[in-house]
Amino acid sequence: MSETYELSCDCGHVTMTATGTPKVSLYCHCGSCRSLYSVDVLSATGWDDNDVQLPDEARLFVHTMTDKDMTRYGCPQCGMIMYGRHAPGIPVIPHGVFRKANGGKLPAALAPSLHLFYRERVLDVDDDLEKSMGGEALGM
Ligand SMILES: [Zn+2]
Ligand SMILES: [Zn+2]
């Protein structure tokens, strides 16, 4: 049986599910992710479109950064960002969304395996994970 993650925004207006194993779980330090999510480092999972049931876009706020071809999707009522879509084109769901659904803990199966675009970092991270200077690890 593969795991199904039932995800929700803070107010419950937006729900979505992810099933099985993400294609990737990582920390992304690239300037685009930092800008799209307004964070110093994006801690997130990337999923195959077939493994997620995304909310109807009519229930979401949708903002595309046209200069970057990146989009973030969130709840129009409570403002929580639920996922993004950007290179390499798959839905990207922040670890924090899973933590909220799991009592504050990141499910062990979703533990990140590497750092991506580490050369663009604004924050040094002293851990044992692979540091990919660019996007080579994902073929980017
Ligand atoms: Zn909400
Ligand atoms: Zn990135």
The average confidence (pLDDT) of the chain is 95
Q: What is the pLDDT of residues 94-131, one digit of tens each?
A: 999 999 999 999 999 999 999 999 999 999 999 999 99
CA of 73 to the centre of ligand 1 (A): 11
Helix-, strand-, coil-residue percentages of the chain, each rounded to 5 = 20, 35, 45
Return the higher-pLDDT residue of 68 and 106: 106
Do 44 and 83 form a contact (C-beta atoms < 8 A)? Answer: no
Give the percent of the chain with pLDDT over 70.
99
Q: Is the pLDDT of residue 42 over 90?
A: yes
Task: State pTM to two decimals.
Answer: 0.95
CA of 13 to the centre of ligand 1 (A): 5
R_g of the chain computed on alpha carbons: 14
CA of 36 to the centre of ligand 2 (A): 9
* pLDDT score of 8: 98
CA of 135 to the centre of ligand 1 (A): 32
Rounded CA-CA distance 55/74 in Å is 10
* pLDDT score of 66: 86
CA of 96 to the centre of ligand 1 (A): 14
* pLDDT score of 2: 84
Sort 22 into a burial class: Cβ within 10 Å, 0-12 / 13-18 / 19+: buried
CA of 81 to the centre of ligand 2 (A): 16
Among all ligands shown, which has an atom nearest to the Cα of 28? 2
Place of tokens 């969130």: 74
Pseudo-torsion of CA 51, 57, 59, 60, nearest 10°?
90
* pLDDT score of 87: 77
Q: Is the pLDDT of residue 1 over 70?
A: no
E strand or H helix that includes residue 31: helix 31-37
Q: Residue ranges of the domains in the chain?
A: 4-133
* pLDDT score of 59: 95
pLDDT band with cut points at 50, 70 and 90 for residue 138: confident
CA of 27 to the centre of ligand 2 (A): 8
CATH number for the domain whose boundaries are 4-133: 2.170.150.70
**Ion ligand 1 contact residues with beta carbon within 5 A:** 9, 11, 13, 75, 77-78
Do 130 and 118 form a contact (C-beta atoms < 8 A)? Answer: no
Q: Which residues contact 13 (CB under 8 A, 6 or more apart)?
A: 59, 75, 76, 77, 78
Among all ligands shown, which has an atom nearest to the Cα of 75? 1
